[in-house]
Structure 1
Amino acid sequence: MDAIFEATIQVLSSDGMIGLNTTRVARRAGVSVGTLYQYYPNKQALLFAVMEKHLMVLATAIERACDQNLKATVETIAEAVVKAYLQAQMTQAELSPALYRISLELDARALIDVAARRSAAAIGAALSSASNARFADPGLVAQTLTAALFGTVPAFCHRVLAPADGREAEKQLTIMFRSYLSAHQSGVSGS
């Protein structure tokens, strides 16, 4: 399965969505088309699996960043979440245009919802533990931040980001997150 998955990414990178078909993927993976069909019954299932894995990588990166920043300041949490998200996104920057098209073609809302819920739960937990602020409803704040974060994907994914663009995106998203968190603090704890 791993060989098929990697071959799918390679074919997407080299041939794009239009050039991707099960025959090319099977050939690149070194398996028969029949073997490929045992795991993925069609091109759509294959693309769905690629999209799902990408979204889980994003959610896992956010969860890890939040876990590593429990009890940190809200500024540090904001920076860590944005950085983790964009780093995970940039690891497959060459696939971003294809992933964006896949999400539109496959109606990947359910997959996006799962990744967003995982991310919002992690952000909410981190915000609840923040050392320098309290929020009346950290869960709602986290859901809003997650929607903003995942909602920025189309702005970046329809083209490949150069490293300079990624740094600027990180800077702008961090400002946005920090400003939003500052506006929604219900009290500052002593530190």
Structure 2
Amino acid sequence: MEAIFEATLQVLSSDGLIRFNTTRVARRAGVSVGTLYQYFPNKQALLFAVLERHLVMLAEAIEKACDENRHAAVEMLAEAVVKAYLRVQMAQAELSPALYRISLELDARELTELATRRSAKAIATSLSTAGDGDFSDPRLVAETLTAALYGTVPAFCHRVLSEANGVEAQKQLTMMFQSYIRAQKAHVSQPE
């Protein structure tokens, strides 16, 4: 199955979504179309699985960054989360436009929602244990940060993001996250 996933990514990268078909994937994977159909009954199922895999990788990267930054300062946590998310995105930068279109064409809201819930839960847990975190509602802060991350990055993934632009995006998103966290901390420390 790994060979099929890898071949799918290669065909998406070389041929694009418009010319993508299961015959090309099977040929690239070195399997028959019949074998491919044993795992994925049609092109949409294969594309859906590729997108699901990508979203799981994003959520896992954020969960790992949060686990590795428990009890860290919240600004360090913000930087680690952004870096982890963009590392996964940039590893498949040439596929971002195709993944973006797949998510729109296949109406993958449920898949995206699952990934964002996992990410928000990890961030909320880390915010709750942060050494300098004192949020009245860490869950809401985490959901806002997650919505910004999953909403902002795909907005510019309809085109290939260069490495230099990825570095700049990381700086900008980190600044945005850290500013939001500072504002939330200031809001909590001010009496009503």
Classify the TM-score, shorter chain: over 0.9
Partner in structure 2 of residue 31 of structure 1: 31
Q: Once superposed, what is the RMSD of the aligned Cα atoms?
A: 1.1
Partner in structure 1 of residue 95 of structure 2: 95
1:127 and 2:123 correspond? no
TM-score by length of 1: 0.96
Partner in structure 2 of residue 70 of structure 1: 70
Query: Runs of 4+ in structure 1 displaced over 2 angstroms?
Result: 153-156
Partner in structure 1 of residue 153 of structure 2: 153
Q: How does 1:40-189 map to 2 (within 5 A)?
A: 40-185=40-185, 186-187=188-189
Q: How does 1:3-42 map to 2 (within 5 A)?
A: 3-42=3-42
- Alpha-carbon distance in structure 1 between the residues aligned to 2:34 and 2:133: 57
Report the alpha carbon displacement of residue 187 of structure 1 after superposing the two structures with TM: 4.2
Moved more, 167-176 or 150-159: 150-159
Contact 1:59/1:118, CA 8 A, preserved across alignment: yes
Tell me the secondary structure at the aligned position of residue 45 of structure 1.
helix
State the one-letter code of the partner of 2:119: S
- Alpha-carbon distance in structure 1 between the residues aligned to 2:170 and 2:128: 23
Report the alpha carbon displacement of residue 160 of structure 1 after superposing the two structures with TM: 1.1
- Alpha-carbon distance in structure 1 between the residues aligned to 2:156 and 2:91: 13
State the one-letter code of the partner of 2:146: T
TM-score by length of 2: 0.95
Tell me the secondary structure at the aligned position of residue 139 of structure 1.
helix
Contact 1:65/1:80, CA 8 A, preserved across alignment: yes
Q: How many pairs align?
A: 188
State the one-letter code of the partner of 2:156: F
Contact 1:133/1:187, CA 8 A, preserved across alignment: no
Unaligned runs of 5+ in 2: none
Identity of matched residues, %:
72
- Alpha-carbon distance in structure 1 between the residues aligned to 2:145 and 2:115: 13
Unaligned runs of 5+ in 1: none
